[in-house]
Structure 1
Amino acid sequence: MNPERESAKIGPVSPSRLGTQPVGEVAEVAEGVHQLKVPIPIPLVYVSAYLVEGDDGWTLIDTGFDYGEGKAAWEAGARSLGFGLESDVSRIIVTHFHPDHLGAARWLQETSGAPVYMLESEIRNARAVWENRDTSRFVEHLVRHGMDRETTERATASMRTSLALPEKMVALEEGEELPLGPGMARVVRAPGHADHQVVLHDEGRRILFAADHVLLKITPNVGLWPETAPNPLLRYEESLRSMRDLPVELVLPGHGPIFHDLRGRVDELLAHHEERLGEMLREVEDGPRTPFEVSRKVFRYGLSIYERCFALAETLAHLDHLVLQGRAERVESEDLVRFRAS
């Protein structure tokens, strides 16, 4: 199962009837709020960007890859809504540094002249990751956790290419309120999928722009990468619990269907990760295993090299969480890390 596409068990939470337009098209999902399904060249197929109309122009939330089909969708979407990317965009908000959300931000900024807003710490992180041509740390991270070097080097060539960052990036602060359409939205830090990810909560209209933090038919990849702070799964679960009771009636995610029951989906995601921890623990009960070995047991079917990296990162995050809980322990040698049940 693909860790980026994998279906968590679907319980009572159902998708909305909103946002059912085809990939590449735009649809209104709330008054003055439009979802654009931007095509992306990875198995997720599209990322949902949101275009919000306001008195001072349009706010764009997330951008897609720097990719021809995605740019064409942006141009067509703006035309269909009757505004110009060149003249009517007031701000571009990027929720996190992953290339399906940040990749086209420079092009959109050059086209529109609008500033790009990101959490201050995410601006630093994006520069550290995407402006660094030395991939040796990334390679050694994967090799040390069990992936063979040849596979690692091929994966690195596709995953850690350079990304042209916007020239003008404006720092957001956690808790800051931004004008968004007819109301205001609060910047909420949402770690787990990315350390410095943000979501936007419009309390007045009970809308959550959820980025990749709370998704419906897939579970966000929560992985441990070279640049990730310790305990990403712990921080993800804490963040989910803190958002569970927000006054929200409409969840606008970065991928997959729009939905309405935030509390129900948070409960499903927490249950999913508890189940996944049990799976990981069973794989190390018979002796030490590398995270890569465990990932190949848990995520079994038809993964590309790119997807294998996500599977390894997610497996490592769960195994580290088991260590934090006292249910497993790390067994380290000079060049390899393994885990076994306590």
Structure 2
Amino acid sequence: MRVALTLLTHGHPDHAAGAARFAELTGTRVRALDPALRLGDEGLAAGDVITTGGLELRVVPTPGHTGDSLSFHLPADQAVLTGDTILGRGTTVVAHPDGRLGDYLDSLRRLRSLTVDDGVHTVLPGHGPVLDDAQGVVEYYLAHRAHRLAQVETAVEDGYRTPGQVVAHVYADVDRSLWPAAELSVRAQLDYLEEHGLI
């Protein structure tokens, strides 16, 4: 067994910073959506099918966490590699300004269609344990986002105007060490609500 290819789900340092060294050690190319992260001539794009070592992966665009987020569908395993689009525990930050909530919701719907139409049962996240109920996880993520969005909308209606104020109100029961990440998501939620004329 040897590493044949390095694929990046997105460019955040905890996923991409070691890619060049890993590629050097394994003698592989690095393929990514973002040209700045590639080593070699080939990138990744929606609909690409990659076959290597008898394994088929289909590239699924899942922007939202970041603008360059991708997932990889493994049809033979009825699984999807999600990077940070879906995590093994907790929920994902929509990393404003690169991440956009509308894109993220569309990506979750795209993943849901994989569970409904393509038989995907397993989520292989970039962080945390394997998840065996892919459809249940996607539905939970969609419901969680809808709930948080409603909370943010209500907070704004109640006079909480700045992202920091909204975080302190909506995420009061969340460990304060997570508030900086929560603020990124709140900024994305506020942008979404403004774009849709809801605030």
The alpha-carbon deviation at position 216 of structure 1 amounts to 4.0
The alpha-carbon deviation at position 299 of structure 1 amounts to 2.8
- CA RMSD, aligned part only? 2.1
The answer for the alignment partner of 1:237 in structure 2 is 105
Match of 2:176, as an amino acid?
A: L
CA contact (8 A) 1:200 1:208 kept: yes
The alpha-carbon deviation at position 288 of structure 1 amounts to 5.7
The answer for the alignment partner of 2:26 in structure 1 is 112
Distance 1:238 1:302 in 2: 28
Higher relative strand content: 1
Distance 1:180 1:267 in 2: 32
The alpha-carbon deviation at position 250 of structure 1 amounts to 2.1
CA contact (8 A) 2:46 2:59 kept: yes
The answer for the alignment partner of 1:101 in structure 2 is 15
Q: Is 2:87 the partner of 1:219?
A: no
Match of 2:108, as an amino acid?
A: L
Higher relative helix content: 2
The alpha-carbon deviation at position 173 of structure 1 amounts to 2.1
Q: Is 2:126 the partner of 1:261?
A: no
What is the count of residue pairs matched by the alignment? 194
**Secondary structure class of the residue paired with 2:77:** coil
Q: More deviation in 92-101 or 291-300?
A: 291-300
Distance 1:245 1:108 in 2: 33
The alpha-carbon deviation at position 218 of structure 1 amounts to 1.0
Distance 1:91 1:255 in 2: 20
Distance 1:97 1:309 in 2: 19
The answer for the alignment partner of 2:176 in structure 1 is 303
Q: Is 2:196 the partner of 1:325?
A: yes
CA contact (8 A) 1:187 1:198 kept: yes
Q: Is 2:100 the partner of 1:188?
A: no
Distance 1:283 1:210 in 2: 31
Segments of 4+ in structure 1 off by > 6 A? none
> Among the aligned pairs, what percent are the same residue?
33
Which structure 2 segments of 5+ residues have no match?
none
Match of 2:15, as an amino acid?
A: H
Distance 1:216 1:317 in 2: 22
Once the two structures are superposed, the pairs formed by residues 148-167 of structure 1 within 5 Å of their partners are none
Instruction: Describe the shift of the 1:292–1:109 C-alpha distance in structure 2 as closer, same or farther (beyond 3 A).
Output: same
The alpha-carbon deviation at position 326 of structure 1 amounts to 2.5
Distance 1:181 1:260 in 2: 25
CA contact (8 A) 1:190 1:197 kept: yes
Distance 1:167 1:216 in 2: 28
Distance 1:302 1:209 in 2: 28
Q: Which has the larger radius of gyration?
A: 1
Which structure 1 segments of 5+ residues have no match?
1-52, 59-89, 127-165, 329-342
Instruction: Describe the shift of the 1:200–1:167 C-alpha distance in structure 2 as closer, same or farther (beyond 3 A).
Output: closer
Instruction: Describe the shift of the 1:251–1:302 C-alpha distance in structure 2 as closer, same or farther (beyond 3 A).
Output: closer
The answer for the alignment partner of 1:315 in structure 2 is 186
Q: Is 2:32 the partner of 1:123?
A: no
CA contact (8 A) 1:192 1:235 kept: yes
Match of 1:112, as an amino acid?
A: T
TM-score by length of 2: 0.87
Q: Deviations over 1:115-164 (max 9, x none)?
A: 11111xx234x5xxxxxxxxxxxxxxxxxxxxxxxxxxxxxxxxxxxxxx
The alpha-carbon deviation at position 182 of structure 1 amounts to 2.5
Match of 2:44, as an amino acid?
A: L
